[in-house]
Amino acid sequence: MEIAAVNTVSVAPQTRLLSNTFSRKLGSVSSLSLRSIEREHRVGSARLRVSAASSSSSMDAVTAEKITPASFLENRESKKVLHFVKYHGLGNDFILVDNRDSSEPKITQEQAAKLCDRNFGVGADGVIFAMPGVNGADYTMRIFNSDGSEPEMCGNGVRCFARFIAELENLQGKHSFTMHTGAGLIVPEIQDDGQVKVDMGIPILKAQDVPTKLPGTKGEAVVQAELVVDGVTWNVTCVSMGNPHCITFGTKGGPNLKVDDLNLQEIGPKFEHHEMFPARTNTEFVEVLSRSHLKMRVWERGAGATLACGTGACALVVAAVLEGRANRKCTVDLPGGPLEIEWRQEDNHIYMTGPAEAVFYGSALL
């Protein structure tokens, strides 16, 4: 099969996005790997030409005259090279790996941490593996955070995963499937407009299952409890979406939070590593704009300040409802954009709707 011409589209610093058609046939390419491998390769009888720029801020231009299916890069996949697709959900970005042929992740947690490095690697908030399903599920999702730790769940990651599967399996239009995760069975549904609606399951409120050592304040749930962080008493509610979240609307007796004023880099790690959270925690700082409109900034366990957190958005709507601050259906503004969240009374499940986009295809040297 031949491809006569390939268009490149500028999308992100340091990358050129190859057209999907090209990328599917070629395998995958990124400026990272191209700079690292060679400047010009023979591809069967065709030639892939790379006009490279040495400055990391400039972009590589890629053209191909004739590409055969047995391309150079496909042949080159080995233990030393990992093909991936970079996705993001509202700026929460992930390296997606097609791991459907094995129940073991293709790379280690240490390698994932290196790939996530924004200076010395691809740059991402985590690496996600699309693996064979277990327990009757269609697929399994595993994820490593950017520090290499493995969380149970990732809301934005699920939406990216769904779009990745649709791309791999060539699914068109509305589609849903089941995914096994560390938080149990999750069901994403790709909408006609490309957004992904996810049944995120039932929130976990029992203190020891979150887990938190804070004592229950509403039965076994920790709602508007006091947590002393660095000498300041905060009011927090703890919710697990499979992974732990600590949600705060402000300090005890203090004014409502203005999240833009927070020094997240300073306060975030103190929550994450607080002794009351034996598995560490994600923390959402929330400002109430109205009963159906909330604004948040997040400090993620194992990833730090990110532009969005899907499980965090779900957890904070649960917290806002439990604290009597909001309705069950809310728009949550995150630094990277809005998510629609509903904690449905009828089935106690949380539904999250939002976007997920492919950014570029790449091959990383391990």
Q: Which residues are annotated as catalytic?
A: 154, 309
Nearest 10 degrees: Cα torsion 114, 120, 123, 128: -20
* Alpha-carbon torsion (89, 325, 301, 232), positive or negative: positive
Residues sharing a CB contact under 8 Å with residue 179, sequence separation 6 or more, in sequence order: 133, 137, 138, 139, 140, 141, 158, 161, 185, 186, 187, 188
Residues sharing a CB contact under 8 Å with residue 117, sequence separation 6 or more, in sequence order: 123, 146
Q: Which is nearest to 287 in space by CA: 329, 330, 245?
A: 330
Task: Provide, rounded to whole angstroms, the least separation between the CB of residue 153 and ligand LBFN2T5F.
Answer: 6
Q: Which residues make up the interface to ligand LBFN2T5F (CB under 6 A)?
A: 92, 145, 151, 154-157, 243, 282, 300-303, 306, 309-312
Q: CB-wise, 310 or 355, nearer to ligand LBFN2T5F?
A: 310
Distance, CA of 6 to CA of 8 (rounded, Å): 7
Q: Which two tokens stand for residue 327?
A: 């309705």
Task: Provide, rounded to whole angstroms, the least separation between the CB of residue 146 and ligand LBFN2T5F.
Answer: 8
Nearest 10 degrees: Cα torsion 163, 165, 166, 170: 150
Task: Provide, rounded to whole angstroms, the least separation between the CB of residue 125 and ligand LBFN2T5F.
Answer: 6
Rg (CA), the chain: 22
Task: Provide, rounded to whole angstroms, the least separation between the CB of residue 144 and ligand LBFN2T5F.
Answer: 10
Q: CB-wise, 87 or 139, nearer to ligand LBFN2T5F?
A: 87
Task: Provide, rounded to whole angstroms, the least separation between the CB of residue 302 and ligand LBFN2T5F.
Answer: 4
Q: Which is nearest to 340 in space by CA: 327, 350, 330?
A: 330
